[in-house]
Amino acid sequence: MTQQNLYLGIDCGTQGTKAIVLDATSGKVLGLGAAAHTLISGANGRREQHTEEWLDAFTDATHRALQQAGVEGQDILGIGVSGQQHGLVLLDDNGQVLRPAKLWCDTETAPENDRLLAYLGGESGSLERLGVAIAPGYTVSKLLWTLEQHPQVFARIAHILLPHDYLNYWLTGRAVAEYGDASGTGYFNVRTREWDVALLQHIDPSGRLERALPALIEADENVGTLLPAIAERLGINPNAQVSSGGGDNMMGAIGTGNIAPGVITMSLGSSGTVYAFADQANVSPQASVATFCSSSGGWLPLICTMNLTNATGVMRELFELDLEAFNALVEQAPIGADGVSMLPFLNGERVPALPHATGSLHGLNMSNLTRANLCRAVVEGTTFGLRYGLDLLRQTGLQSQSIRLIGGGSKSPVWRQMVADIMNTEVVCTEQPEAAALGAAIQAAWSRSGESLTRLCDKCVSVDSASRTLPVAANVGAYQQAYERYQRLVATL
């Protein structure tokens, strides 16, 4: 019998934590576990979470994954952690969390972001200095907000960590960051891969923030060994190594084998993301493109739309449809929904850059106002946003032979065909839908075993050939017309 080579991959997201047990010898996922988080929602777009919930969910999901895998926790050699990007966790001198974590989807700090952006010289100044245009969800505006709204908390800050950095700290007692997730803070230069200390000094000249920065480590470096008490709590080998981990998009790239030019990953989740590997920091002049670092030694130009399955979900609720009935209605309506267009900006929008936009329906008349057309219009509208973003990425020189589709929406054959036709590119799903947790486990194996990342991805990432979807020439032309209509409507905003 071949010796098992077991790694734990964790993905701490907004809605919950997923854990997978990977055998890096066979490339097979042996077990999967999950546990939910709750969201603290408040006025002005406040979105926060209690970090204790992450620790409880981490523990529960791990126990469930080990149980399903039927393996001993003592056999786990390494752990990798993927985390939701941009969140802020503040710790005091004793390593205690000072207040709930502010999340990527929190927009309460939009006024602070506007002021910081003005200080940087607008989006073009921010792009020139940092390589990214800071947006309200980024970490930097959360620091200024804390200084102004909670000065007594600010005065006790000893560590500034992102969600995945905080989980690594909990596991090992060591405060470090890696380049991929650090790219989304707004105080990190993606070209030079260094913290922008001067920007933090502008927020607070005392030097407190600079002293609270974690040390930066490479993607294939280990953070350290598990703390004995945590190893006991998780039921895991106390000699297990914790890898650098990364943001959920960076780990999703590894988990879809997106570690060399030519592959594009597209996630159809509550928000939509499109990203691809680049071996150079080709910073786009378009502020909507975030040229983050990857967690595999390169860069990961990325676009994120704010409205995807959250928008289709609202339409389903309106008509009281389950997924099957919704998809059947989408399929009934023709391409272009008989002239009905939806700009699905229910949550504002980042790509196209329309933060204050609202949703709208266009082209309605007595004959085309049907449930089927409305259902199709919302799916087309959200997918056109991804096409808009993919075109921006292609302008930076990215080539794409195929799109690897992940996220809840990827399970729908109707939607897969729509993506293939609208993007005019072959689409295929990966076998393992939990791409970020898988990527974290693969990264743990990479940093522990010394095996090349390419070889590990070849072995552990497989595509579901039954899901392979090719564009249909006649559909491509019809969608192009509908997309141009969408672009004309967006231009009026």
Strand partners, 266: 274, 405
| SS3 labels along the chain | CCCCCEEEEEEECCCEEEEEEEECCCCEEEEEEEEECCCEEEHHHEEEECHHHHHHHHHHHHHHHHHHHCCCHHHEEEEEEEECCCCEEEECCCCCECCCEECCCCCCCHHHHHHHHHHHCHHHHHHHHHCCCCCCCCHHHHHHHHHHHCHHHHCCCCEEECHHHHHHHHHHCCCEEEHHHHCCCCCEECCCCEECHHHHHHHCCCCHHHHHCCEEECCCCEEEECCHHHHHHHCCCCCCEEECCEEHHHHHHHHCCCCCCEEEEEEECCCEEEEECECCCCCCCCCCCEEEECCCCCEEEEEEECCCHHHHHHHHHHHCCCHHHHHHHHHHCCCCHHHCEEECCECEECCCCECCCCCEEECCCCCCCCHHHHHHHHHHHHHHHHHHHHHHHHHCCCCEEEEEEECHHHHCHHHHHHHHHHHCCEEEEECCCCHHHHHHHHHHHHHHHCCCHHHHHHHHCCEEEEEEECCCHHHHHHHHHHHHHHHHHHHCC
C-alpha 143, offset from chain centre: 21
248 is catalytic: yes
Nearest-angstrom CA–CA distance, 376 and 56: 40
Question: Which residue is associated with the tokens 């949550």?
Answer: 347
The tokens describing 296, both together, are: 């595999």
Nearest-angstrom CA–CA distance, 453 and 251: 12
The tokens describing 413, both together, are: 């054959």
CB 390 within 8 A of CB 274: yes
Residue of 11, 106, 181, 248 with catalytic role = 248
C-alpha 154, offset from chain centre: 28
CB 57 within 8 A of CB 131: no
The set of catalytic residues is: 248
